[in-house]
Structure 1
Amino acid sequence: MDRGSLIGLGLGLVAILGGQAMEGGHIGLFLQPAAFVIVVLGTLAAVLLHFPLPVFLQGMRMSKWVFRPPESDAPALIRRIVLWSGATRKEGVLALERHVNMTHDPFQKGALQLLVDGADADKLRETLEVQINQFETTERQAARVWESAGGYAPTLGILGAVIGLIHVMENLSDPSRLGAGIAVAFVATIYGVGLANLVFLPIANRIKFTIARRVTEREIVCDGLIGIAHGDNPRIIEARLKGYL
């Protein structure tokens, strides 16, 4: 569990609700179902229109990375590559075949298999770079789901405000109904701007940060295996790969 994300979310809620309380307002004023429906469901509809359903669902699944990011241990990965390099220098490239069966990560497994199958350094680089670029493109496309939600939410908040003001204008002759319309108008704007800047955009940026880290791990594997294909000394490979940390 990522404590920083929990702390950030908690501070955001404290900033808004605490500020409202300090101004003497009631927190219950933020509970406006009409404003919530307009902003949240409207944003959801806009995002569903923007992206194909598989991309949207992938973006929803990736949101868990905010609190439970994928495990990452780049130093351990570098040590593993140095081990592969040492085995290759002692026993030849075919010694990596047993490491292929011991590797569970699909990218690492496929890259090792290419090396075992006799791919030279240039072909290995070309193949792995295509895979890395495609991986990054696919992952970032899913991350943009949340980025788009952060763009649509404030606009839907303004739409909710306009709807609320229309409701106010329709009931000018009935002062008892003016308060509800004004509340929907302003709370809808708060929902739109607040969700965009405290939820949607931070989630998008956290996902992109995690994607960048995962791409770096694949670049480490690519660089290390190319070094093995060139026959570089394991110490040289290790020193070069540590530059990624």
Structure 2
Amino acid sequence: MDLASLLGLALALAGIAIGHALDGGKFSSLVQPAAFAIVVVGTLGATLLQTQRKAFVRGLRMLGWVFRTPRDRRPQLAREIHLWSLSARRDGLLSLEQYMAKADPFIQKGLRLVVDGIHPDKLKSLLDTEINGYELRERQGARIWEAAAGYAPTVGILGAVLGLIHVMENLSDPSRLGAGIAVAFVSTIYGVGLANLFFYPVANKIKGIVAERVAEYEIIGDVFHDIASGDYTRVIEERVACLLTDR
């Protein structure tokens, strides 16, 4: 569990609630189901409209990364790189086939290209293409949160306008004016608050995680190039050192 994410979200919500209370407001005045429905459902619909289904589903799954950051696999990768280098030097490139079964798809492809004897430069080009495709797919998932952050404030304004329309329709009944005014103002709070306290931070954190994974794959791609070139010593050690550099 990522405590920093949970703490950040809690602090953001607490700041609003405490500030509202210090000004004499009641927490119940911020709870408006109508405003919530307008902003959340409207934002969800607009985001879904602009996004392909696969990217939308991928983005929703990525939300789990924010509160449960993927484990740091760099130490394990460093050990695996050492094994690849040692095995290739002692037993030849064909010996790398034994490591393919438990590897992720990118590493499997790299090992397969090395085993097949692909020219090192061609191998590096193919892996770079694979990395670019991976980054594009993952960033498309992250962009749904950026899109939601862009739409939410505007949908909040729409909710405010709808609330004011409700007020104008009931000018003859003062008892019903309060509800319309509450929806108008709280819709704006929901829209701006969700965009800046949740959607944008989620998008940026996901993009950061994707960037870290891409950096790992780029180093691994360089390692495969080195192994295919017959360089098993100092250069690969430097790659591993870069991989283990503190973030």
Instruction: Verify the 8 A CA contact 1:164 1:182 in the aligned structure 2.
Output: yes
List per-residue Cα deviations over 1:183-225 (Å, max 9, x = no partner). 1110000000001111111111111111111111111210111
> In 1, Cα distance between the equivalents of 2:173 and 2:107?
69
In the alignment, what sits opposite 1:146?
145
> In 2, Cα distance between the equivalents of 1:223 and 1:70?
23
Q: Read off the aligned partner of 1:19 and give its amino acid letter.
A: G
Instruction: Verify the 8 A CA contact 1:154 1:193 in the aligned structure 2.
Output: yes
Shift of 1:181: 1.1
RMSD between aligned alpha carbons? Answer: 1.3
> In 2, Cα distance between the equivalents of 1:179 and 1:98?
71
TM-score (norm 2): 0.94
In the alignment, what sits opposite 2:41?
41
Structure 1's 193 and 15: CA in aligned 2 closer, same or farther, altered over 3 A? same
In the alignment, what sits opposite 2:214?
215
% identical equivalent positions: 56
Shift of 1:78: 2.3
1:156-235 equivalent positions in 2, closer than 5 A: 156-235=155-234
Instruction: Verify the 8 A CA contact 2:219 2:239 in the aligned structure 1.
Output: no
Runs of 4+ residues over 3 Å off in structure 1: none
Q: Which runs of 5+ in 2 are unaligned?
A: none
Shift of 1:90: 1.8
Instruction: Verify the 8 A CA contact 1:34 1:184 in the aligned structure 2.
Output: yes
In the alignment, what sits opposite 2:129?
130
> In 1, Cα distance between the equivalents of 2:103 and 2:238?
25
Instruction: Verify the 8 A CA contact 1:150 1:195 in the aligned structure 2.
Output: yes
Q: How many residues align?
A: 244
> In 1, Cα distance between the equivalents of 2:45 and 2:233?
53
Instruction: Verify the 8 A CA contact 1:86 1:234 in the aligned structure 2.
Output: no
> In 2, Cα distance between the equivalents of 1:109 and 1:9?
38
SS in 2 for 1:231: coil
Q: Read off the aligned partner of 1:218 and give its amino acid letter.
A: Y
Q: Read off the aligned partner of 2:156 and give its amino acid letter.
A: G
Instruction: Verify the 8 A CA contact 1:78 1:238 in the aligned structure 2.
Output: no
TM-score (norm 1): 0.95
Q: Read off the aligned partner of 2:216 and give its amino acid letter.
A: E
Q: Read off the aligned partner of 1:80 and give its amino acid letter.
A: E
Q: Read off the aligned partner of 2:84 and give its amino acid letter.
A: W
Tell which deviates more after alignment, 229-238 or 176-185: 229-238
Q: Read off the aligned partner of 2:160 and give its amino acid letter.
A: A
SS in 1 for 2:206: helix
Q: Which runs of 5+ in 1 are unaligned?
A: none
In the alignment, what sits opposite 1:97?
97
Instruction: Verify the 8 A CA contact 2:117 2:228 in the aligned structure 1.
Output: no
SS in 2 for 1:194: helix
